[in-house]
Amino acid sequence: MVKALAAIAARTVAQVMSADLMTLKLNDTLRLAGDTLNLTQVRHFPVLDGDQVAGIVNHDDLLHASMASLVRDRNNSLREALATVKVKDIVEPDPIRISVDKDLHHLTALMHAYHVRRVPIVNGFDTALGVVTLDDLIAQLGDQLADIGKTISEEFPQGNA
């Protein structure tokens, strides 16, 4: 059982991250961001400047910007208004991120300290490699708890007490 617990602590973010990363670029329009959100059901997007993480945009940011665009540009449809606003105008700059070689303990401490549910994973050059979400960590924990349960059952079979 101790080995199973040690295995959880030793896992790196690289072993948990999703490398299937949905991103936006600084000069993308909010119309593209909204369309991407609707097609993918992803709620947060790392925003890239080249390959480097420049910020993050979430669903709420897009909703607020959409409402502001409608108020400012009442003569156009929402889609037309969103086509005039760039992601860089609403991006949350310098988001929390973590190096691909860090362990899950560092990641969870960072997520807890900054109250974030999604963290971009980067290499030493700040290039976006993937993302880890709170849902990913919960799934990982479930898998590890199942492994620990199996180990306990094997080490202490019922009926041998």
Average pLDDT, the chain: 84
Q: Evaluate if residue 58 carries a pLDDT over 60.
A: yes
pLDDT tens digits for range 67-110: 776 666 667 677 777 788 899 988 888 899 999 999 988 999 99
Share of the chain above pLDDT 70, in %: 88
> Which H helix or E strand runs over 129?
strand 128-133
Rounded to 5 degrees, φ, ψ at 7 are -65, -35
Give me the pLDDT at residue 101, please.
94
DSSP string, 60-107: HHHHHHHHHHHHH-TTS-HHHHHTTSBGGGT-EES---EETT-BHHHH
DSSP strand pairing (118-122 vs 98-99): parallel
Q: What is the CA radius of gyration of the chain?
A: 20
Judge: domain 2-154, CATH 3.90.340.10.
Answer: no
Q: Cα–Cα distance between 8 and 31 in angstroms, integer?
A: 41
Domain ranges of the chain: 2-154
DSSP, collapsed to helix, strand or coil, labels residue 161 as coil
Q: Cα–Cα distance between 18 and 15 in angstroms, integer?
A: 9
pTM equals: 0.76
Cα angle: 111, vertex 146, 142; to 5 degrees: 25
> Judging by beta carbons within 10 Å of its beta carbon (0-12, 13-18, 19+), is residue 73 exposed, middle or buried?
middle
Longest dimension (CA), the chain: 78
Give me the pLDDT at residue 8, please.
61
